[in-house]
Amino acid sequence: MARRRGPTWSPREEDYARIFREQNPWQETGKVPEAWAREVERPLARFLARRLLREEPRRFQLILGPRRVGKTTSLYQTVRRLLRDGIPRSSLWWLRLDHPLLLQVPLGALCQQVIATHEVTTESPVYLFLDELTYSESWDLWLKTIYDEMWPVRIAGSSSSTAALRDRKLESGVGRWEEQYLAPYLFSEYLELVGRPISMPVGESLTETIENCILKRVDVSGISDYRRRFLLTGGFPELLIHGSLKETNGEESSILLESQRILRNDAVERAIYKDIPQAFGVDNPLVLERVLYTLAGQVTGILSPQTICQSIGGVSQPTFLRYLSYLERAFLVFTLPNYSGSESSTQKRGRKLYFVDGAVRNAALQRGLAPLTDASEMGLLIENMVAGHLRALGEGSQTRLYYWRDRHEEIDFVYDHPESPIAFEIGTSPGHHHRGIIAFTSRFPRFEGRCYMVSFGADAVRAQDSWNKIGTIPLDLFLLAVGAQAERELERRLISA
């Protein structure tokens, strides 16, 4: 790399030049290596490229999410799209900021070095892709500086590190960058990945999309085996691609065991023994692992900190709540509050626990082959899968997700959309009772005619067409409707905002 005006580098400038070449091969070839960006894109890549091209309003984009969900791959796919859209290869720069040498250089100096490589203007900016952005020291302050001083760059970054939420000053990001949550694959994305996509009539809200799917009789026959494999493997692209190559039913057990092994090593142990201790100074990660193990045994249940602390022993409630927040910020688990119609009273109630993906829970517990034969175990995983889909939709639409329970009556999920609220009960069969829904709509009339029973083998009936104003929808159709709506909301958030 020719020496240009800019910051003073270490004597090993040729090392940095080599790193830049290795991380940006398209600047010589004009192409992103196929191994880095699989052809079937996640929706994020399609919409992020358009957002960076338009840049209205001006915002940097930060992609957050669990490990192994495809954040880096999605950014590479975005680079490929920009190349195809005619952006000069010399304007597209990738910096993997957890590289040992790049860690030694301030983010601002790296950006200045890139800018100095060629003429740039506000109309012809540099596109910076900052992988593992939050490894860079004072990354949030540098983004603030770059934004406020109007450097001619457009930035997309990624992070699965808890450092993204450790010391970050939230006010730095207001009006400067947007956070996009990338969830594990949704069922609709998985079907596209394996070449079995199903077109969905998407509406303006989840309620409208579900009604459209029912009215147009969307055919979801023949996909139950795909859903089962997706449920057991988890929504992680490398595992899904590998699992899809093993077609026979005899391979199901090996797919499940291999998924658990990989997720145990990469998602669970790395978070427990590296990410969280480094980010938050946890001195005894063994206790943190016991907390996670205990939570895994209570998935879909209502948390009782007092009971959990008694079962673990030697852990105070403040410590447990602190560890729970670390696990949430590491994208391993999430919780839902009890719906009350009032935010102040909602936060005082018990919270319901879910894993970001049921396969991570299986890996934490080392469940082995139990999910294949245990009906109650499978029921927990199905509810957790539904929760993950609705949470991904809620993140994209900025809509709160709840459960509801009052004494012995409950409803599993309340999607509290301001104009089109809708609620769901997950049943094991079409004959599941409706007592919880009836009690819920009696308490909250705004949900009358907006509740659905979701189960295997259910007939697809709109709530407004049912005699008791409670709709029914088969599980697979419901998952695809939620996935299609999540994609629509992501497009709206990135493109139409």
Residues 216 and 340 in one domain: yes
Paired with 424 in beta bridges are 413, 452
Q: Is residue 323 part of a domain?
A: yes
Q: Is residue 358 part of a domain?
A: yes
- Single out the residue of 427, 449, 451 nearest to residue 437, CA to CA: 451
Q: At what angle do helices 224-233 and 475-491 cross, to 10 degrees?
A: 70
Angstrom distances, CA of residue 360 to CA of 234, 282, 296: 8, 21, 9
CA–CA distance, 172 with 166 (Å, rounded to integer) = 14
CA–CA distance, 139 with 132 (Å, rounded to integer) = 10
Task: At 338, list the tokens.
Answer: 């009890």
Exposure class string for 80-90: b at 16+ Cβ within 10 A, else e: bbbbeeebebe
Q: Of the candidates 150, 182, 214, which is a domain's last residue?
A: 182
Residue 338 DSSP class: B
Residues 281 and 253 in one domain: yes
Number of other residues whose CB lies within 10 A of the CB of residue 23:
16
Q: Of the candidates 182, 215, 236, which is a domain's last residue?
A: 182
457 CB-near residues (< 8 Å, 6+ apart)? 429, 430, 474
DSSP for 189-257, please give it: HHHHHTT--------SSHHHHHHHHHHTT---TT-HHHHHHHHHH-S-HHHHHHHHT--SGGGHHHHHH
Paired with 177 in beta bridges are 60
Q: Is residue 4 part of a domain?
A: no
Residues 222 and 111 in one domain: no
Determine if residue 217 is left, alpha or beta; phi over 0 gives left, psi from -120 to 50 gives alpha, anything else beta: left
Residues 167 and 287 in one domain: no
355 CB-near residues (< 8 Å, 6+ apart)? 296, 299, 332, 333, 334, 361, 364, 384, 388
Residues 178 and 200 in one domain: no
CA–CA distance, 371 with 257 (Å, rounded to integer) = 11
- Single out the residue of 240, 265, 235 nearest to residue 363, CA to CA: 265
Q: Which CATH number does the domain housing residue 171 bear?
A: 3.40.50.300
- Single out the residue of 228, 265, 252 nearest to residue 378, CA to CA: 228
pLDDT value of residue 245: 52
Question: How many separate domains does the chain show?
Answer: 2
Q: How far apart are the first and last CA of the chain?
A: 40
Q: Is residue 7 part of a domain?
A: no
Residues 172 and 203 in one domain: no
Residues 125 and 234 in one domain: no
DSSP for 85-134, please give it: TT--GGGEEEEETTSTTGGGS-HHHHHHHHHTTS---SSS-EEEEEETGG
DSSP three-state, residue 457: coil
Mean pLDDT (10-residue bins), the chain, 497 residues: 44 80 95 92 93 90 89 96 95 93 92 86 90 88 94 91 52 80 95 94 97 96 91 87 57 79 87 85 90 92 91 89 92 94 62 94 82 84 96 95 93 96 89 88 95 93 94 97 97 83
pLDDT value of residue 227: 92
- Single out the residue of 309, 168, 189, 180 nearest to residue 237, CA to CA: 189
Q: Of the candidates 163, 182, 201, which is a domain's last residue?
A: 182
pLDDT value of residue 484: 97
Residues 217 and 134 in one domain: no
Q: Is residue 428 part of a domain?
A: yes
Residue numbers of the domain that contains 206? 189-496
DSSP E strand stretches across 274-355:
333-336, 352-355
Q: Taking the model in full, what pTM does it have?
A: 0.91
pLDDT value of residue 1: 41
DSSP three-state, residue 487: helix
CA–CA distance, 463 with 40 (Å, rounded to integer) = 35
CA–CA distance, 154 with 92 (Å, rounded to integer) = 10
Q: Is residue 53 part of a domain?
A: yes
Q: Is residue 99 part of a domain?
A: yes
Residues 49 and 74 in one domain: yes
CA–CA distance, 26 with 464 (Å, rounded to integer) = 54
Residues 351 and 318 in one domain: yes
DSSP E strand stretches across 264-325:
none
Residues 26 and 115 in one domain: yes
Q: Is residue 119 part of a domain?
A: yes
Residues 87 and 153 in one domain: yes
Contact present, 6 and 113 (Cβ < 8 Å): yes
